[in-house]
């Protein structure tokens, strides 16, 4: 770990100003915001991130969860994962979010990790995390160790020939299905970013993971209310029973009426280079009767563009089973 300066701004304006001088808000940023630190400190110890300045946002008043007038929810950037997962309104209206968060990491990590931090959670690809290895995400142009290497846990959707790193977050998968909106304060004022637009595909610039720019500060995340009759669910599949990133996961939010799907939102985890919303699966489901056949077609559609690597081809079938099981379970009795 390199030595760094730590500053503690008093408000959002100071925090934003402190980071606006950064050369980038992406991989290798010289100035970094820090909240729970569960990813950043880890990467600093590995020399993957070497910021000279850390701006601590833990004292900012961004730690509230509040109902919005329209029946939705506002979640502050520094709300801890544990608090979010156990909040009564989340348990009541957004089960998929609670389930997703509680399926990840450990109690100790969830007690530290924050909403904004989890939005920005970095990949667990072993090549990214080891500075002796090639990685286009960490060091553009150095190559990808994973494509011909240890890629069992890596992505099959949204990959490029530069990068196949998985977005490891569980929370993000739920937020994708819930169509969350991310509210950012930046150099030019505040802006609202739909969740689907927040993360970037690796393409030729895998070092760029989000649309954030220097000076941007995530203030909060809003969740729209779900239509009446909606139910939601998160299913996570992995080798062991706990403390493992998803090999495949599914977040589903489904409303039904008279045995038909009236509205479906589907997102997948563990398989994409970003939290993977599947409009293809949603298109198959909407307006169709609740049957296993339709679920199978939706799962096939979700995996239509999957590209397997040397070790992770099984994820195609696993993700299909995961999504079918989630759809079947969430529509039980419909």
Partner 1 sequence: MPALEQTTDASPIGKKTPRVDGPLKVCGQAMYATDFHFPGLLYAVPVEATIASGKIQTLDTSEAENMPGVRAIFHRGNIGKISRSTLGPGFEGIVDERRPPFEDDVVRYYGQYIALAVAETFEQAKAAADVVRATYAKDKYNVDPDLKPDDEPDVVETSFQPTKRLQSERGDPDKAFADAPVKLDQTYVTPTETHNPIELQATTAMWDADKLTIYEESQGIFNLRGVLAQMFGLPKENVRVVTKFVGSGFGSKLWPWTHCPLACAAALQLGKPVKLVLSRKMMFQSVGHRPRTQQRVRLGATADGKLVSLQHDYVNHQAMLDGYHEDCGEATAFQYSVPNLRVKFGRARRHVGSPTAMRGPGAVPGLYATESAMNELADQLKIDPVKLRMLNEPKIDESLNIPFSSRHYIECLELGSEKFGWSKRTAEIGSMKRDGMILGWGMAGAAWVAARFPAEANVQLRDDGSARVASGTQDIGTGTYTILAQLASERTGAPLDKVEVVLGETSLLEGPISGGSMVTGSMVPAVFAAADNAIASLLTIATNTPGSPFEKHKPSDLGFESGKAFLKADGVDKGVPFADVLRRANIRLVTGNGKSEATFGNPKPKFSTHSFGCHFVEVTWQPEIARLRVNRIVTIIDAGRIINPLAGRNQIEGAVVMGIGMALLEHTTYDPQNGAPINSNLADYMMAVNADAPSSIDVHFLDYPDKEINEIGARGIGEIGLAGVAAAITAATHHATGVRVRELPIKIEDLLTSSVVA
Distance (Å) of CA 71 to CA 27, 223, 282: 37, 9, 24
**Distance of closest approach, residue 152 Cβ to partner 1, in angstroms:** 8
Q: How far is the CB of 126 from partner 1 (least distance, A)?
A: 6
**What does the alpha-carbon distance between residue 305 and residue 156 come to, in Å, rounded to a whole number?**
8
Q: Which is nearer to partner 1, 241 or 258 (CB)?
A: 241
Nearest-approach distance from CB 150 to partner 1, in angstroms? 4
Q: Least distance (Å) from partner 1 to the CB of residue 197?
A: 30
| Residue 324 contacts partner 1 per CB under 8 A | yes
Half-sphere exposure of 86 (CA within 13 A, CB side): 7
Residue 241 makes contact with partner 1 by CB under 8 A: yes
If one asks whether residue 149 binds partner 1 (CB under 8 A), the answer comes out as yes
- Cα separation, 80 vs 67, whole angstroms: 17
Q: Is residue 257 near partner 1 by the rule CB under 8 A?
A: no
- Contact between 2 and partner 1 by CB under 8 A: the answer reads yes
Query: Between residues 198 and 295, which has the closer beta carbon with respect to partner 1?
Result: 295
Site for partner 1 in 88-147 (CB under 8 A): 124, 126, 129, 132-133, 145
What is the token pair recorded at 21?
A: 């001088």
Q: How far is CA 231 from the centre of its chain?
A: 20
Q: Work out which of 19, 39, 136, 153 binds partner 1, going by CB under 8 A.
A: 153
Asked if residue 240 binds partner 1 (CB under 8 A), the reply is yes
C-beta of residue 100 within 8 angstroms of C-beta of residue 171:
yes
Q: Does 6 bind partner 1 (CB under 8 A)?
A: no
Q: In terms of DSSP bridges, do strands 248-257 and 189-194 run parallel, antiparallel, or are they unpaired? A: unpaired
Instruction: Pick the binder of partner 1 from 71, 191, 317, 332 (CB under 8 A).
Output: 317
Print burial letters for 26-45: b (CB count within 10 Å at least 16), e (below 16): bbebebbbbbbbbbbeebbe
Rank residues 2 and 92 by Cβ distance to partner 1 and give the closer one. 2
Q: In this complex, which beta carbon is closest to partner 1, that of residue 127 or of residue 276?
A: 127
300 binds partner 1 (CB under 8 A): no
Copy the structure tokens of residue 171.
Answer: 């929370």
Nearer to partner 1 (CB atom), residue 285 or residue 326: 326
The least CB distance from residue 71 to partner 1, in Å, is 33
First-to-final CA distance of the chain: 54
Tokens standing for residue 236: 């996570």
Smallest gap from residue 129 Cβ to partner 1 (A): 8
Among 65, 111, 150, 280, binds partner 1 (CB under 8 A): 150
Q: Within 21-60, which residues bind partner 1 (CB under 8 A)? A: 47
Q: Which is nearer to partner 1, 170 or 216 (CB)?
A: 170
Candidates 72-80, 221-229, 253-261, 314-322: pick the segment binding partner 1 (CB under 8 A): 314-322
- Compute CA distances 280 → 85, 95, 266, 276, 297, whole Å: 29, 23, 9, 11, 10
Residue 148 touches partner 1, criterion: CB under 8 A? yes
Compute the distance between CA of residue 322 and CA of residue 2 in angstroms, rounded to an integer: 42
Which two tokens mark 155? 């992505």
What does 254-318 look like in DSSP terms, one character per residue?
EEEETTEEEEEEEEEESSBSS-EE-HHHHHHHTT-BS-HHHHHHHHHHHTTT----SS-THHHHH
Return d(Cα 52, Cα 40) in angstroms, integer.
Answer: 13
Which is nearer to partner 1, 244 or 280 (by Cβ)?
Answer: 244
Contact residues: partner 1, CB under 8 A: 1-2, 47, 124, 126, 129, 132-133, 145, 148-150, 153, 235, 237, 239-245, 247, 313-314, 317-318, 321-322, 324-325, 328
């Amino acid at each position: 770990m390199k030595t760094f300066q730590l500053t503690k701004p008093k408000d959002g304006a100071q925090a934003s100003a402190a980071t606006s001088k950064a050369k980038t808000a992406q991989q290798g940023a010289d100035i970094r915001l820090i909240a729970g630190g569960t990813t950043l400190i880890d990467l600093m110890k590995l020399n993957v991130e070497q910021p000279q300045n850390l701006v601590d946002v833990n004292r900012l008043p961004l730690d509230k969860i509040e109902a919005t007038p329209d029946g939705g929810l506002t979640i502050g950037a520094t709300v801890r994962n544990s608090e979010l997962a156990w909040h009564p309104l989340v348990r009541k209206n957004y089960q998929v979010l609670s389930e997703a968060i509680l399926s990840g990491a450990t109690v100790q990590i969830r007690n530290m990790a924050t909403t904004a931090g989890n939005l920005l959670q970095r990949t667990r690809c072993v090549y990214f995390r080891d500075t002796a290895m090639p990685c286009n995400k960490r060091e553009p142009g150095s190559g990808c160790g994973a494509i011909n290497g240890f890629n069992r846990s890596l992505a099959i959707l949204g990959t490029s020939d530069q990068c196949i790193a998985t977005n490891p977050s569980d929370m993000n998968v739920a937020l994708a299905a819930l169509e969350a909106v991310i509210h950012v304060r930046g150099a030019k004022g505040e802006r609202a970013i739909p969740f689907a637009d927040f993360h970037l595909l690796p393409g030729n610039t895998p070092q760029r993971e989000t649309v954030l720019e220097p000076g941007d500060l995530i203030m909060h995340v809003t969740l729209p209310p779900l239509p009446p009759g909606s139910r939601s669910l998160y299913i996570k599949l992995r080798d062991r029973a706990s403390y493992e990133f998803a090999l495949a996961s599914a977040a589903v939010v489904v409303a039904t009426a008279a045995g038909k799907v009236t509205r479906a939102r589907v997102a997948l985890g563990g398989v994409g280079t970003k939290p993977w919303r599947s409009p293809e699966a949603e298109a198959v489901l909407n307006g169709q009767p609740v049957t296993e056949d339709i679920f199978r077609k939706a799962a096939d559609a979700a995996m239509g563009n999957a590209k397997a690597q040397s070790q992770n081809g099984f994820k195609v079938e696993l993700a299909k089973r995961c999504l079918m099981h989630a759809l079947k379970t969430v529509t039980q009795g419909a």
